[in-house]
Structure 1
């Protein structure tokens, strides 16, 4: 059995449709942002198409709340001993081939599909990514995406750089051991069990990542890339993502203009998909995937 874990925060009708399509082949587990508006009818539909549904955390972008929601969702899925492979996606992801094709692709592999890089080697928005872990941040309390949050972030960087703050050194962690990558992962049971157990038995890691920025893109990479599982990581994640600004979003919201690239490549999942902008693309994909939409 394979499980799909969905982190969702908006567009609930689309999340329901996504879960419904995938439920033909997968066990579905959903965490919905606690502050999301949901009707009774939508709640009933979500519970109907998911094995487990929770809405525990007020998730804020760049904050540790995402890690908490992710780990809780992973634990729920691990409780079912029949689940042997796990796919973590967002509520704005979409299957680019039929659910059966996705299931078949991962059915007989023990590989981990997850991209990664050393945090010391990457700069994002002009900042060394390692700063996001060695400095202190509190974005569970501060909304990083507001104007105030952006100014606050710059002040935190400036002050902590001047003061030579390094919480990694405080906990005896080398900067060269911190890895980062996209949060979305396809992972077998033994690797996921190891990652969660290791993380929870090394409280220094939680102390580091709970006060980091975008730790949802670091905690799993750091654990697995410093273990024997690193040799089983495949960096080709089969996710189609356009890291450009389009339709007011980065990553881009996918539309019919992405169809040729998707069908010409080795892709299983797409991000971001958002109706109605992505309607025509979905229709085009359904036409070539004989599976079609699930009713």
Structure 2
């Protein structure tokens, strides 16, 4: 029987995490590895696993990272999860999700899909040159792990630093990108083969120049993995690569390809109620079912419990 690993980054919304863990762990072909942001108390999350007797396939990693939003620390948390997952086992596929994700379909459907589309890599991507508004992310030094950028207008020190930074950024010298590599970006969340995860970890260990470069970029968790895979032999295995190449050659000036086509996850970036991404609720139920995706985010305890109950009934029907 093929085995599948789910890597979860979580820090809040413990009740959403509980629903997610209960759903995933009910599948005997799954192992779940959990990283809890070092700033947060791990005990409420562990309590869920203990009370529901899930220790056989839910594992909390010990090498926890103090995650800074949009910093390289998010990459490090993912790397630590990947290391733990492949330490003693080989999985058919390894999926990175957040603690505020939830399945849209029964996991058996997802695993059947992965088996039928053997050896594909499911990661959203685009060349940064195709999205010029993203080029700043790699062109300037962003010391985000040292000076937090989240809510920078609400802290006097951050306001002074980032206020000056953004005012003068366009006048600063631009960084030269890593020779012989093409920069890519995309979503933080993916489903990859065991072999490609091993390859990413080898690059992380051996290519200190790549690691050093991305430590000072803006939201590297949305670029680091794409850049490694799309500059490797695994590029030809990336799902939708042929479609992207056609789009790039013919019609890229008209629209961007829909992100959910690449990584099988539904995320709403419409900005509804000034939320990026949108916190999903029962209004989104039919849209989720019609999306043909396997996972969705973002859910919250305040707004999404009713939707999760609806999805649970659908999944179990």
| Counterpart position of 1:44 | 47
| Counterpart position of 2:298 | 272
| Counterpart position of 1:254 | 280
Given the alignment of the two structures, is residue 67 of structure 1 paired with residue 67 of structure 2, yes or no?
no
| Counterpart position of 1:23 | 25
Q: 1: distance between equivalents of 2:98 and 2:159?
A: 24
Could you tell me whether the CA contact under 8 Å between 2:61 and 2:84 is conserved in 1? no
Give the drift of 1:159. Answer: 3.4
Unaligned runs of 5+ in 2: 241-260
Give the drift of 1:82. Answer: 3.3
Moved more, 98-107 or 248-257: 98-107
| Counterpart position of 1:155 | 164
Could you tell me whether the CA contact under 8 Å between 1:30 and 1:73 is conserved in 2? yes
What secondary structure is seen at the aligned counterpart in 2 of 1:4? strand
| Counterpart position of 2:15 | 13
Query: Cα–Cα, structure 1 residues 46 and 167, in superposed 2: closer, same or farther, change >3 Å?
Result: farther
Give the drift of 1:105. Answer: 2.1
Query: Cα–Cα, structure 1 residues 249 and 205, in superposed 2: closer, same or farther, change >3 Å?
Result: same
Query: Cα–Cα, structure 1 residues 9 and 96, in superposed 2: closer, same or farther, change >3 Å?
Result: same
1:213 maps to which of 214, 218, 229: 218
Query: Cα–Cα, structure 1 residues 44 and 286, in superposed 2: closer, same or farther, change >3 Å?
Result: closer
How many residues matched?
Answer: 282
Q: 2: distance between equivalents of 1:94 and 1:262?
A: 11
Moved more, 234-243 or 208-217: 234-243
Q: 2: distance between equivalents of 1:188 and 1:288?
A: 28
Within a 5 Å distance, the mapping from 1:174-185 to structure 2 comes to: 177-185=182-190
TM-score, normalised to structure 1, is 0.88
Moved more, 193-202 or 45-54: 45-54
| Counterpart position of 1:56 | 64
CA RMSD of the aligned region, Å?
2.1
Q: 1: distance between equivalents of 2:315 and 2:289?
A: 11
Moved more, 62-71 or 107-116: 107-116
Given the alignment of the two structures, is residue 191 of structure 1 paired with residue 203 of structure 2, yes or no?
no
Query: Cα–Cα, structure 1 residues 36 and 249, in superposed 2: closer, same or farther, change >3 Å?
Result: farther
Q: 1: distance between equivalents of 2:49 and 2:72?
A: 25
| Counterpart position of 1:32 | 36
Moved more, 73-82 or 47-56: 47-56
TM-score, normalised to structure 2, is 0.82
Unaligned runs of 5+ in 1: none
Query: Cα–Cα, structure 1 residues 203 and 143, in superposed 2: closer, same or farther, change >3 Å?
Result: same
